[in-house]
Amino acid sequence: MNAEQFTKDFKALAQSTKLPFQVQEELWTMINGLPFHSRLFNAMPSKFDQVDKVISEGIRSIYQPHSTRSVTELDRIGRCLDKIQPGARSTIPQAGRGAFATRLIRKGEVVIGTPLIFTPTDDFYRMYQGDWIMQSAPPDRNNLKRMQLIINYSWKHPESSLFLIPYGPLAQLINHNQTQANVRVQWAKHGEMSQNHAWLTKSPEAIFPSATPGLFWDFIAMREIQPGEEIFLDYGDDWEKAWTEHVKNWKPPIDAEDYISARQWVQENPDAMLRTEEEQGIDPYPDNFEMRCIADIIELYTAEENLTNDQAKDLWHEKAQSSEYSTKTSSNATEATISLSKLLFDV
Amino acid sequence: MICTVQERRQEPNGEYVYKVHYLPLGLFDTEDVIGEDGLVNWYESTWIPRGAISFAEKPYSTDIFLEGAFRHPIQIPDDIFPKPWQGFEGTLYW
């Protein structure tokens, strides 16, 4: 159930039971005032006179105007997303990807911004021993295996258990470099990008129940940044110390030399004959491999027994063109149709 | 979707086709996947071409999930950390 469907169902029910207009309005106001936080309630039109618009034009008609801004307003309070771009290789060895300036950025300029969500403790990151894939048993809370990787992208202060997690684009690509940091973070101005300074004056408990965003950081250039230059941030002394310790003590697994990723193996062996489960008892694939099958092809072949390869191609083409298939694959319909068709035709 | 090859056959044109056991998409509830006998309820396919089968990384098998892999949050600078948030210690759910 989504907010649009809920609104339609409400109106249909009100009409079928011949509820007077005023009662409908009061009921709608009452539902909107229920003290529950949910995505559905959050998305529902707050005013009853918006209900007919939602029914005739969809829920987006209510919210789309809020998302449209004039260029003047964007210049004043918006944030550019194209001053930096991802680079496949950081200038720091083994740091993976990085963020690089696309143009000259002046000292004091906002390089990128990001909204933040918060979590009161590290509870959210903890992964206990358990069957994470099949979830056949509850995790063993006495056996903490590791923290989720997202903790490396989260922010924390030593004097609090609270975590802030940026969820805007690009900012997460900025690597640590204590000696060459060229950006720092600061709170956005009150009212810009939903930043609510009142939250900074309250205890965290007071802001946890909020269903709307209220925290936004800007990454500010500490000096002039040249086009193509990598963006660096100082992750803090604690981070630097922890990383130095980690590098000093790290020992790779004993079988690290033999490791091959499934992705690399597939690229190098696209047509290799596959071993059966029985054969793998004697000659197994590496532990990190998981065999996957393309659901649509299995369904197609299973539905049409004794199908020749050519017949399957024709049927697949027909299926890929049908609206039924397009609906099933939603927004990725075109891409999925093309890639799966190509895949089958290549067989 | 996850599958395992059960049988392999060579076609007259030299290509191999396979019969697999697979778990249909959408079976996210444990009871749909694990039978009363505690074994996985695999579905059986008919003969399918090589192009329908591939390999992916097993979840949690890449180096970022190794035991002892680096985990540390970024430090919120002192000068922007709100005073009312200092000393806050939340409660773990577990």
ipTM of the complex: 0.82
Note the pLDDT of residue A63.
Answer: 87
In this prediction, residues A22-41 reach a mean pLDDT of: 84
**Confidence band, pLDDT 50/70/90 cuts, at residue A336:** very low
> Could you tell me the two tokens for B77?
């600078």
Note the pLDDT of residue A301.
Answer: 77
In this prediction, residues B3-16 reach a mean pLDDT of: 92
Contact between B72 and A176 using a beta-carbon 8 Å cutoff: no
pLDDT at residue A259 greater than cutoff 70: yes
* Substitution target from A293, A299, A307, A342 for chain B, most B beta carbons within 10 A: A293
pLDDT at residue A232 greater than cutoff 90: yes
In this prediction, residues A314-341 reach a mean pLDDT of: 45
**Side chain identity at B80, as an amino acid letter?**
I
Kindly report, residue by residue over B39-87, the tens digit of the pLDDT.
Answer: 777 888 888 889 889 999 998 888 888 889 999 999 999 999 999 999 9
B21 in a domain, yes or no? yes
Q: Residue A170 — φ and ψ, nearest 5°?
A: 75, -40
B68 in a domain, yes or no? no
pLDDT at residue A309 greater than cutoff 70: no
pLDDT at residue B29 greater than cutoff 90: no
Q: How far is Cα A30 from Cα A129, in angstroms, rounded to an integer?
A: 45
* Substitution target from A290, A308, A340, A342 for chain B, most B beta carbons within 10 A: A290
The B residues from 26 to 85 touching A (CB cutoff 8 Å) are 30, 33-34, 45-78, 80-82, 84-85
**Confidence band, pLDDT 50/70/90 cuts, at residue A345:** very low
B7 in a domain, yes or no? yes
Comparing A58-62, A105-109, A199-203, which segment has the lowest mean pLDDT? A58-62
Note the pLDDT of residue A310.
Answer: 67
Q: Mind giving me the DSSP string for A83-133?
A: SEEEESS-SSTT---EEEESS-B-TT-EEEEEEEEEESSGGGGEEEES-TT
Report the Cα–Cα distance between both ends of chain A, in Å, rounded: 41
B50 in a domain, yes or no? yes
Report the Cα–Cα distance between both ends of chain B, in Å, rounded: 33
- Taking every pair of Cα atoms in chain B, the longest distance, rounded to a whole number of angstroms, is 76
- DSSP type of residue A40: H
Helices (H), chain B: 30-33
- Rounded to the nearest integer, the mean pLDDT of chain B is 86
The A residues from 159 to 198 touching B (CB cutoff 8 Å) are 159-164, 176, 184-187
Comparing A6-20, A332-346, B28-42, which segment has the lowest mean pLDDT? A332-346
* Substitution target from B17, B74, B89, B91 for chain A, most A beta carbons within 10 A: B74
pLDDT at residue A347 greater than cutoff 70: no
Note the pLDDT of residue A112.
Answer: 97
pLDDT at residue A330 greater than cutoff 80: no
Contact between B81 and A120 using a beta-carbon 8 Å cutoff: no
Note the pLDDT of residue A338.
Answer: 36
> Quick one: CA torsion of A206, A208, A212, A217, rounded to 10 degrees?
90
Name the residue among A199, A293, A343 with its Cβ closest to that of B3: A293
* Contact with chain A for residue B90, Cβ under 8 A: yes
Note the pLDDT of residue A118.
Answer: 92
pLDDT at residue B27 greater than cutoff 70: no
Give how far B64 is from chain A: nearest CA, Å. Answer: 8
CA distances from A344 to A3, A264, A274, A294, A296 (A): 39, 22, 18, 10, 10
Q: How far is Cα B2 from Cα A132, in angstroms, rounded to an integer?
A: 15
As beta bridge partners, residue B43 has B22
Q: pTM value?
A: 0.74
**Confidence band, pLDDT 50/70/90 cuts, at residue A307:** low
pLDDT at residue A170 greater than cutoff 70: yes
The count of structural domains within chain B is 1
- Whether the Cβ atoms of residue A242 and residue A102 lie closer than 8 Å to each other: no
Which residues does A66 contact at the CB level (< 8 Å), separation at least 6? none
Which residues does A154 contact at the CB level (< 8 Å), separation at least 6? A119, A125, A163, A164, A165, B73, B74
Which residues does A347 contact at the CB level (< 8 Å), separation at least 6? A309, A313, B49, B50, B51, B52
- Whether the Cβ atoms of residue A81 and residue A219 lie closer than 8 Å to each other: no
Give how far B90 is from chain A: nearest CA, Å. Answer: 5
Note the pLDDT of residue A246.
Answer: 96
State which residue of chain A sits closest to B89, comparing Cα positions.
Answer: A161
Give how far B85 is from chain A: nearest CA, Å. Answer: 6
Which residues does A218 contact at the CB level (< 8 Å), separation at least 6? A79, A110, A111, A112, A113, A185, A186, A187, A188
B46 in a domain, yes or no? yes
Which chain B residues touch A146 with a CB distance below 8 Å? 65, 67, 69, 71
**Confidence band, pLDDT 50/70/90 cuts, at residue A320:** low
B16 in a domain, yes or no? yes
pLDDT at residue B35 greater than cutoff 60: yes
Q: How far is Cα A325 from Cα B76, in angstroms, rounded to an integer?
A: 48
CA nearest neighbour of A102 among A82, A127, A74, A80: A82
Kindly report, residue by residue over A76-96, the tens digit of the pLDDT.
Answer: 888 999 999 999 999 999 899
In this prediction, residues B17-29 reach a mean pLDDT of: 77
Which residues does A111 contact at the CB level (< 8 Å), separation at least 6? A83, A84, A101, A105, A183, A218, A219, A220, A221, A225, A231
Contact between B45 and A263 using a beta-carbon 8 Å cutoff: no
Give all domains of chain A, ordered by start, each with its CATH number: 2-67 (no CATH), 77-249 (2.170.270.10), 256-346 (no CATH)
Give how far A93 is from chain B: nearest CA, Å. Answer: 16
In this prediction, residues B5-17 reach a mean pLDDT of: 92
CA nearest neighbour of A63 among A76, A48, A46, A78: A46
Helices (H), chain A: 3-16, 21-32, 39-43, 51-57, 60-67, 71-77, 204-207, 237-249, 262-268, 277-282, 295-303, 309-321, 323-328, 333-346
Note the pLDDT of residue A339.
Answer: 37
Note the pLDDT of residue A35.
Answer: 77
Domain of B2? 1-59
**Confidence band, pLDDT 50/70/90 cuts, at residue A319:** low
